[in-house]
Amino acid sequence: MFKKYPIVKKVLLFLLSLLVILVCFGFWFVSLLPSTNLNIENTTVKDLPYLSENVLPKKGKILAVVTSTKTIGTTGKKTGYELTELSRAYYVFKANGYQVDVASTLGGKPRVIIDNDDMGAYDFAFLNDKIAQQKTNNTIAMKDVIADNYDAIYFVGGKGAMFDFPNDKSIQNIVKEYYESNKVIGAVCHGPAALVNVRLTNGNHLLENKSVSGFTNEEELLLIPDAKSIFPFLLQEKLTEQGANFNKGEMYLEQISQDKNLITGQNPWSTWALAEKMIEQLGNTPKKRMVTAEENAIKVLSIYSKEGKQKAKNAIENMINLENKSIDRMLLAQHTIVSVMKVEIGDFFNILNLLSFTKSCDSKIEKK
């Protein structure tokens, strides 16, 4: 048969060779990823020196607000608030002496979104924290919040926030009051949806000429191509439409903006920096903590984006060999996938090379 149809033989050989290459690449790619740490799921507050050691005296209270929305519009798809955007900020506030209460638009038990690929020690500790879980299972309804009880307010992201934050009168009133009384307002990822309909006493929109960050159109549309028809609006467009100076960072990398007492972050990877910036705005020097492996990976990717592959490799070598820091290889791997989704093949191979180099540096340390 193949002698009669040589072109068929060539095509089959090509496809078979391609399959073998893809399978080999898959095994190699998986070998670059870190092994699963099953013990991390049992992490508690006592296991985290940042929280359990050198406990600071109590300073005040901060209100964290999450969405009560459980489905994305009429799609029926589940949504809610992002665990990592609450847990990490919650513990920054706690470590720096602030009690944290959790509210939602409707009160009660909102739906939480947990992405296992993004979970770290602090996130699992939060799930194992009886006090934190009691607060998230019994959130205060925004209409029942006593604004005077808190020094700051923090709006947690999650796609659900796009539906109930913008038109909630209690949110609008407390944001207006806090901004005009110079109390700290923080919001991350989709959390800035809480700001889009806030008007000040003089009638001006809160966002007019304010420097803000939030989940970008590019980030939204890459994951949900039909986002414009699913959500009431795209967050970047709405913030800009209301007069904000939108401060856009690299896709899925840390980016925060501060305009006086208004502090906003672009995405989940901005949570640590945003929470600590809120602590600074409250007049405190943030308590020192060990920077997470995820944050180190974000730093490497930021250096690559701004200064190129070689500078990023130098940073990896310094972090691992000189500073004894860990770098989250899973996050680097995720960004190779992002580059493919963006059809940026050069970035795919460059970040893949950074991932391989990180694995190599880790292996040298392990051998020592």
The tens digit of pLDDT for each residue in 212-228 reads 999 999 999 999 999 99
Confidence at residue 347, expressed as pLDDT on a 0 to 100 scale: 94
Residue 296 resides in a domain: yes
| Beta strand 262-265 pairing with 184-188 | parallel
Residues 318 and 243 in one domain: no
Residues 73 and 143 in one domain: yes
329-341 and 293-307 helices, crossing angle to 10°: 40
What is the average pLDDT across 7-13?
Answer: 55
Confidence at residue 263, expressed as pLDDT on a 0 to 100 scale: 98
Separation CA 262–CA 245 (nearest Å) = 13
Confidence at residue 366, expressed as pLDDT on a 0 to 100 scale: 61
Residue 10 resides in a domain: no
Residues 217 and 320 in one domain: no
Residues 82 and 134 in one domain: yes
Residues 346 and 229 in one domain: no
Question: Among residues 232, 248, 281, which one ends one of the domains?
Answer: 281
Residue 199 resides in a domain: yes
What is the average pLDDT across 65-80?
Answer: 92
Residues 215 and 197 in one domain: yes
Following DSSP, what letter does each residue of 23-72 receive, concatenated?
Answer: HHHHHHHHHTSPPP-GGGGG--GGG-HHHHSSPPPP-EEEEEEE----B-
Residue 316 resides in a domain: yes
Question: Among residues 232, 260, 281, which one ends one of the domains?
Answer: 281
Residues 68 and 182 in one domain: yes
Cross-sheet strand order for the sheet of 60-66: 140-141, 98-104, 60-66, 152-155, 184-188, 262-265, 256-259
- CATH number, position 251: 3.40.50.880
- What lies within 8 Å, CB to CB, of 254 at 6+ separation is 265, 266, 267, 269, 270, 273, 295, 298, 302
Separation CA 308–CA 39 (nearest Å) = 36
Residue 306 resides in a domain: yes
Confidence at residue 117, expressed as pLDDT on a 0 to 100 scale: 80
Residues 270 and 299 in one domain: no
> Are the C-beta atoms of 88 and 271 separated by less than 8 Å?
yes
What are the structure tokens assigned to 228, written together?
């414009």
What is the average pLDDT across 333-352?
Answer: 91
The total domain count for the chain is 2
pLDDT digits (tens, 9 = 90+) for 296-312: 999 999 999 999 999 99
Residues 327 and 201 in one domain: no
Residue 254 resides in a domain: yes
> Are the C-beta atoms of 20 and 102 separated by less than 8 Å?
no
Residues 224 and 345 in one domain: no
Task: Work out the burial of residue 287: count CB atoms within 10 Å of its CB; fewer than 13 is exposed, 13-18 middle, 19 or more buried.
Answer: middle
Question: Among residues 281, 303, 326, which one ends one of the domains?
Answer: 281
Residue 13 resides in a domain: no
Residues constituting the chain = 368
Residue 150 banded pLDDT, cuts 50, 70, 90: very high
Residue 73 resides in a domain: yes
Confidence at residue 118, expressed as pLDDT on a 0 to 100 scale: 87
Handedness of CA 15, 18, 20, 22 (dihedral sign): negative
DSSP summary character for residue 233: S
Phi, psi torsion values for 303, nearest 5 degrees: -65, -45
The parent domain of residue 268 ranges over 41-281
Residues 143 and 206 in one domain: yes
